[in-house]
Structure 1
């Protein structure tokens, strides 16, 4: 997508307002807001006026930029964002990349499961980049299921990325807890299980930024300990993966060693940690033993 041409002076004025209001990354957000208005409404609106002012006011209220814009970018895709559904983070692109590589190496028509799909970012990326893949994503939240289905439809129609989907790739989104909605015939036949589940302790909520508080708590906190859903997914992987299949689960970067222990306890092998671009532990990766 080409970037809209904007008036730098308008961007500076918006950045000054955002900075004075305590908004992080004010200069970056200001440019994206002005570019968005120019692209969607027109250059005149992007020079000021009620449309731009309204969006700036929402950002000053600490509504996440992605929700203000109604969209975000994830790997090659432009995805729709909606209030009440977890916003995908750039760090999760690393998790998606590991899953894409594992699926691509699994042979023709790999089967991929993605519970806790949220907006569908990981599932859509896999459909966009892995030829012949069969992806089934799940989420317990009806709002997330609706948004993920919308993003998947845009991906398969070539609207999220004109080069997507990959040849022969298919995907669907089902509502339910983790793997409950999955056809039992897939048990023991899955090539890749990937998830960005809730993994923070509930007590952490008091430390979250105003933007993060717009995400559903259930999409962030795994329970009192925080590791409950991570542990459950690793245990499920031990039975749903085919022999040699790969599980990739995003984790709290403070809990890497615990995640490795949980993977080993579940009977998985070759457990390792994957770091994001900041060097923090971002995911645990393991295989089903022969």
Structure 2
């Protein structure tokens, strides 16, 4: 088993996979149907399991996302079903979800939370899991991604449609708007990781020449949805730590506009409060 894991990690490393040891072990645990912590106790693979493992390694070496191979993605305390047609949630987005959860918990009564561009439903699912008394709404434009969100969300008002024209019925009543919009500039195509560029929906990745087209639409929609004093949070690219918040500052509708770093110290998401 030790040699098998070493050879598998080397295969993924040569293919340019960013975390070869962990991915090799996660795929092995998936084949064996055990948790990572039990791998050292495993005796070995039978012939069918070895064939399945080799096939998964080949696909991962071709840079197919790990989550597509296992069919799941962990996000805070929930496990999401994911696959082709939906954006795979990233660990850094858990920080934005955590902010939304904190804001919801700080509200009196049952908070109203709206997740725009929900994708797999990751943020909406996390909010409902950790703030079960919240009234959570989510919307996704892509029918393929919407189908995945439907699998992942329970007790959430999930809609199919344009996030930046949705929820007119909630105008002026929402406590928290949260969004992980597309934010990659079109000119940055070559710099995008193969796993995202070749497998994530482009609708969830790219947003105009400067990457801020969706952010501008979000600013206007959040201003319509939120009650006075309500808050919005939105993820952005690490190079947009000034330009993304500037979208909200420029409109004059917001106060307490600030940016937040991720655990690596990179600019990651903005928050703002609708002026009364």
- Residue 159 of structure 1 corresponds to which residue in structure 2? none
| RMSD of Structure 2 on Structure 1 (CA) | 1.8
Q: In the aligned structure 2, how far is the partner of 1:103 from the partner of 1:22?
A: 40
Q: Say whether 1:24 aligns with 2:24.
A: no
What aligned pairs does 1:47-196 form with structure 2 within 5 A after superposition? 49-153=50-154, 170-182=155-167, 184-196=168-180
What aligned pairs does 1:245-284 form with structure 2 within 5 A after superposition? 245-266=230-251, 267-284=253-270
Q: Secondary structure at the match of 2:86?
A: coil
**TM-score, normalised to structure 1's length?**
0.87
Counterpart pick for 1:34 among 25, 28, 31: 28
Cα 1:91–1:46 shift into 2, 3 Å:
farther
Per-residue deviation, residues 213-267 of structure 1 (Å, max 9, x unmatched): 1111110111222101111111221221011111001111211212222112231
What aligned pairs does 1:197-276 form with structure 2 within 5 A after superposition? 197-213=181-197, 214-266=199-251, 267-276=253-262
Question: Can you give the 5+ residue segments of structure 1 that lack an aligned partner in the other structure?
Answer: 1-6, 154-169
Question: Can you give the 5+ residue segments of structure 2 that lack an aligned partner in the other structure?
Answer: 35-41
Contact 2:113 2:137 in 1 (8 A): yes
Shift in Å at residue 147 of structure 1? 0.3
Q: Give the number of aligned pairs.
A: 266
**TM-score, normalised to structure 2's length?**
0.91
Q: In the aligned structure 2, how far is the partner of 1:230 from the partner of 1:100?
A: 21
Q: Secondary structure at the match of 1:211?
A: helix
Q: In the aligned structure 1, how far is the partner of 2:215 from the partner of 2:140?
A: 15
